[in-house]
């Protein structure tokens, strides 16, 4: 059997399209999607997908790999915030609506046309435009034990130091898990930046995950890494608007009761002090000085 590679555009609706590359391998096997750009300013995964989709050949692939280069491509080009043209965050609107606005239609398209075809989904993300982040993964933790086990196994094929069992019920990978497709998010980079080193690590992780799940025929053995697993994550939003002064860095370990940071008003008066409720590690936190009430402030993996 001889495989092929094709580049095409998936048309979700007028004005919403997803650039894609499909590589059908010379050897039969399953179907895996590797996506990036669900959030338009998370660049590391987008660049990694471009490079992998360009360099991988059908001879190296077992089964089929679908690369979704940039799910929110219009937002990526316009450098809009991490929402689609309708102002909605795609990862908050699953399963979407067939006749809704751009994000709703895209979620519906992914649910109907992409997820049901997939045996596995790897969704590449970074910290947000104003977010400092330590590389980590989220694996499906609320679906069936087998889907959770396979999702965790995918995470262990990455070289990130931490992975968190996710209880999220929304988002591309979470919804995939609910439809019995093992899926993870791999997070690397942040603050609207990307570097060659980060892209190389995303490529290394993706190739090892493809290898580990049986999609890569390159003669190399997949390697599991000593990824530290956190069974729970805590995601804290700012309780007031003001100036956010973190006391820790992403990747720092924290002990119970330790000060994570404080919010001051513009005159320097303390409005709020955030304490760690449990020991764990800082996964990501807001890097900008200004912070708005209700927006993400700091997230921790809990021991
Ligand atoms: Zn993201």
User: For 83-107, how does the pLDDT look when each residue is reduced to its tens digit (9 = 90+)?
Assistant: 998 999 999 999 999 999 999 999 9
Residues 189 and 76 in one domain: yes
Same structural domain, 22 and 156: yes
Q: How far is the CA of 220 from the centre of ligand 1 (A)?
A: 30
Question: How many Å lie between the centroid of ligand 1 and the Cα of residue 268?
Answer: 32
Task: Report pLDDT for 1.
Answer: 66
What is the pTM assigned to this prediction? 0.97
How far, in Å, from the CA of 284 to the mean position of ligand 1? Answer: 12
pLDDT at 271: 98
Q: Based on the domain organization, do 174 and 267 belong to the same domain?
A: no
221 and 132 together in one domain: yes
Same domain, 242 and 214: no
pLDDT at 176: 95
Outline where the chain has alpha helix (H).
Answer: 43-55, 73-78, 102-109, 145-156, 172-178, 196-212
Pairing of strands 228-230, 62-68: unpaired
- How many angstroms separate the Cα of 207 from the Cα of each of 5, 172, 222, 224? 17, 21, 9, 12
- Same domain, yes or no, for 194 and 265? no
Q: Which domain holds residue 115?
A: 4-228
Segments of the chain with pLDDT less than 50: none
Ligand 1 mean position, distance from CA 135 (Å): 12
Residues 72 and 189 in one domain: yes
Looking up residue 260, the CATH number of its domain turns out to be 2.40.50.100
CA of 188 from ligand 1 middle (Å) equals 10
Two structure tokens written together for 158: 């990455």
What's the pLDDT score for residue 169? 83
Is the same domain home to 156 and 243?
no
If one counts the domains in the chain, the total is 2
Question: 202 and 256: one domain?
Answer: no
HSE at residue 238, side-chain half, CA atoms within 13 A, is 26
- Among candidates 303, 266, 299, which has minimal Cα distance to 282? 299
């Amino acid at each position: 059997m001889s495989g092929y590679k094709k580049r095409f555009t998936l048309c979700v609706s007028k004005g919403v399209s997803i650039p894609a590359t499909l590589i059908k391998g010379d050897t039969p096997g399953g179907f895996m999607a590797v996506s990036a750009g669900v959030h338009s300013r998370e660049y590391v995964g987008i660049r990694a997908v471009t490079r992998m989709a360009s360099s991988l050949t059908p001879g190296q692939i077992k089964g089929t790999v679908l690369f979704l280069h940039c799910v929110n491509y219009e937002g990526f080009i316009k450098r809009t915030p991490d929402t689609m043209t309708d102002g909605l965050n795609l990862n908050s609107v699953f399963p979407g609506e067939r006749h809704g606005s751009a994000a709703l239609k895209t979620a519906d398209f992914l649910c109907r046309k992409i997820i049901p075809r997939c045996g596995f989904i790897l969704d590449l993300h970074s910290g947000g435009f104003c977010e400092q982040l330590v590389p980590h993964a989220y694996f499906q933790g609320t679906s069936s034990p087998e889907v959770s086990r396979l999702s965790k196994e995918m995470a262990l094929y990455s070289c990130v130091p931490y992975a968190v069992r996710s209880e999220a019920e929304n988002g591309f990978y979470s919804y995939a898990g609910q439809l019995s497709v093992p899926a993870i998010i791999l997070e690397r980079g942040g603050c609207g930046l990307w570097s060659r080193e980060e892209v190389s690590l995303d490529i290394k992780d993706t190739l090892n995950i493809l290898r580990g799940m049986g999609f890569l025929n390159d003669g190399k053995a997949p390697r599991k890494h000593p990824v530290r697993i956190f069974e729970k994550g805590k995601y804290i939003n700012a309780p007031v608007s003001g100036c956010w002064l973190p006391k820790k860095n992403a990747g720092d370990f924290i002990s119970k009761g330790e000060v994570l940071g404080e919010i001051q008003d513009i005159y320097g008066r303390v409005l709020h002090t955030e304490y760690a409720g449990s020991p764990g590690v800082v996964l990501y936190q807001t890097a900008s000085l200004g912070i708005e009430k209700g927006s993400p402030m700091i997230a921790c993996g809990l021991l």
